[in-house]
Structures are given as C-alpha cells and as structure tokens.
A and B are shown apart, each in its own frame.
Chain A
Amino acid sequence: MEKIVQCELCPNGCILGPGQRSRCRTRTNSDGKLYSLVYGRPCAVHVDPIEKKPFFHFLPGTTAFSIATAGCVLACKFCQNWQISQSKPEDTDTYDLPPAKVISNALAYRCASIAYTYTEPTVFYEYMYDTALAARKERVKNTMHSCGYINERPLRTLSKYLDAANIDLKAFTEDFYSNVCGGRLKPVLDSLVILKEEGIWLEITNLVIPTLNDDAKKIREMCRWIVDKLGRDVPLHFSRFFPHYRLTNLPPTPIETLESARKTALDAGVRFAYIGNIRHEAENTYCPNCKKVLIERTGYVVKGNHVVNGKCRYCNTAIPGVWN
C-alpha cells in the first residue's frame, strides 16, 4: 500500500507521498505519517509591544513574547517577512525553545501574553497549541496574528486556549487572493466568523496596496461585511504598504487613500478604524460617544490611556476589548 497522507490543517490540503515536503515547507511525510519539522524550533523570538501586532484593544501598553518558525501557507507577493516565511526551516537559524521555555521566558520578561506571529502560526500549529495550553495554566495570555487560512476543526480546537487574534483580511476579492497570495478569500471569511463565534477577541488588519486592493467600492463592501457578520466592535486597522519583496514596482500607499478607507469604515458603522504603519492621529483610540481621545499612541508607544474598567473615563461609554 502506498503510504500517502493528507494534511488537514489548512485549505491547501497537501497530499504527500513518502519523503515529500508540504507547500508550507514545514511538514513532511515520513514512512506514511505526517510530521511537523518546526516544533520547538522558532527562527524569530522577540519581546514586542502588543501594539506592534497590532492589537489596540487588548492589554494596551503590555509586551508580548513573540515567536515564529519558518514557513507559510500562502505566498503573498508583498510579504514583509518573506525571508523567513518563504524559507525552509533548515535554511533558517533556529532556537531550541520548547513550550516550557517559551513560558518561562515570557514570565521572566514580564510579558502579559505570548504572540504567535511574524510568519503564519498555522504552520507551527502543534508547537503553538502546546505552548498555548501551558501558557493558560500560568495565566499568560495567547494571541496570534494570522492570515486566517486554516480549517475549521483545528481553529476551533485552538480557540479553547486563544485569547485574541488579529487576522489579515488582505482584500475583498477572490482574484486578489489567487493572483497575489496564492490562496482563496472564502476560508479567511469563514475563520473570522468562527473566531467571533468562539468568543476570541478579534481585530482585523487590511494592508492597502495601491492599484491592487484600494478600490473604494470593494473597501466599502468589506466594511459592510465586517459590520454585518462580525459586528461594529471589531477594530479595523488600515495599514500602509511599502514596496517590498516581489512588489517593488508599486509606490507606498498615499495617506489620502488610507484616510478615505478609514472614513468608509466609519461610515459603514465600524466603531474603531485605525491607520497604521505611519504616524497619524488615527493611531489613537477615540470614544465613539464623546469623541475624546481615549488611548493616545505614537507608533507602538502608548502615551495616555483613559479607558477605566473598560469604560470611557469622560462619558462612561463601554469600550469593547480586553483591558486587564
């Protein structure tokens, strides 16, 4: 009998014969079993402000012990971390950091959370899952920044130990996902709905790329979908694109494009819309009722926080998020 296996983690559904390597580069069929090659072997380990993920409504001003291994389920032409996301694990320098060591480091560095980030955490699912489980026992929170390209069963299984997710909604067309990322939009939308159902604190990032996904009509459609399916309280981050990797032919996103995307979001009913990757007053959190600045930020630095017990200090309006 042929020892062929199929991975059921993400919608790519890799089918592998013995010795073959997966599309995400981190999985292999060895003698008829599927194995991860990256468990406990991160290639990126940093202590970051939680604002860098970005999470703006999740323990502001705290740090996240952030880890990633090589590999990704997608192949976005604009990837900011392509040196590791599009590499094989054996082509990166790795640390020997099993889950227990991640937790002890997170505690030693006084991080309120662990962030599974930089590349695509789905590719190091087993490592993330075991770490998240151990972190929960030590009361360290678990966050991930993901492209959301993951199947329902693994996502729901992980959700038991996940506290927050920032999902890249890269565009609102199937064409963009297939031509620019090598994936599909539908599974990402499904993941967003699942995370919401599971009660995970959710934020969304949309990198606005000139000519590729900056169509005002599509942005409006996306915002309406978010309000309709996820509600008005999911913070939406419009992030500025810079020429990178295989998209060096395009200019950085004009500020006006980001401002108009933000206005579209607010008009569609999104209560918290931000602009990122650039210094701008839309990095701040504003009270949706009295309009005062609630959390003042410059880049990743929180300069003032007027959310008290989850409410606006000035008018007592409840501000959605995880505040302590």
Chain B
Amino acid sequence: MSRRDFLKTVGAGILALLLSAAVDAGGKPEQHLTEAMFWRRVE
C-alpha cells in the first residue's frame, strides 16, 4: 500500500469512528419521537 493510500485508509477509519461515536452519543432527542401510551385528546 502506498503512503497516500495508507493515510487515506487511516483517515477513513478515524472518520468512521467519529461518526459511530456521534451516533452513540446521540442526536437531538426530538429526532426520536415515540408515541406515548397514556394520553387523550382534549376536545
């Protein structure tokens, strides 16, 4: 592997790691709406 390819691979690896860390650490909770179990509409 050339030095350039090697750096590219390492760079991609780091990016993937950062991305997965970002997923683990969580985005804004508003992006995860789950319908509540106990509620009613107020007429």
Least distance between B29 CB and chain A CB atoms (Å): 4
In whole angstroms, what is the CA distance A211 to B18 when docked? 51
User: How many Cβ-Cβ contacts under 8 Å join chain A to chain B?
Assistant: 83
- In the complex formed, the residue of B with least CB distance to A36 is B34
CA gap between A46 and B26 in the complex, in Å: 17
Q: Evaluate contact between A95 and B24: CB separation under 8 angstroms.
A: yes
How distant is the Cα of A36 from the Cα of B36 in the complex, in angstroms? 6
Stretch at the interface among A5-13, A49-57, A308-316: A5-13
Q: Is B1 an interface residue (CB 8 A)?
A: no
Least CB separation from B41: chain A residue: A5
Q: Report the interface size class on chain B.
A: 10 to 19
A92–B35 Cα distance when bound, in Å, is 21
**Contact A30–B33 (Cβ < 8 Å):** yes
Contact indicator A34/B32 (Cβ below 8 Å): no
Q: Is B37 within 8 A of A129, CB to CB?
A: yes
Per-residue CB contact flags for chain A residues 141-153 toward chain B (1 = under 8 Å, else 0) read: 0000000000101
Q: How far apart sit A48 and B29, CA to CA, in the bound complex (Å)?
A: 26
> Is A94 among interface residues, defined by CB-CB distance under 8 A?
yes
Give the size of the chain A interface in residues (CB under 8 angstroms): 37
Q: How far is the CA of A2 from the CA of B41 in the complex (A)?
A: 10
With a CB–CB cut-off of 8 A, which chain A residues contact B28?
Answer: 90
30 interchain pairs, CB-CB under 8 A: A5-B41, A6-B39, A6-B40, A6-B42, A7-B36, A7-B39, A9-B37, A15-B42, A28-B33, A32-B41, A35-B33, A37-B30, A38-B29, A39-B32, A40-B34, A41-B32, A89-B29, A90-B29, A90-B30, A93-B26, A94-B25, A94-B26, A94-B29, A95-B25, A96-B24, A125-B36, A125-B37, A126-B34, A126-B35, A126-B37
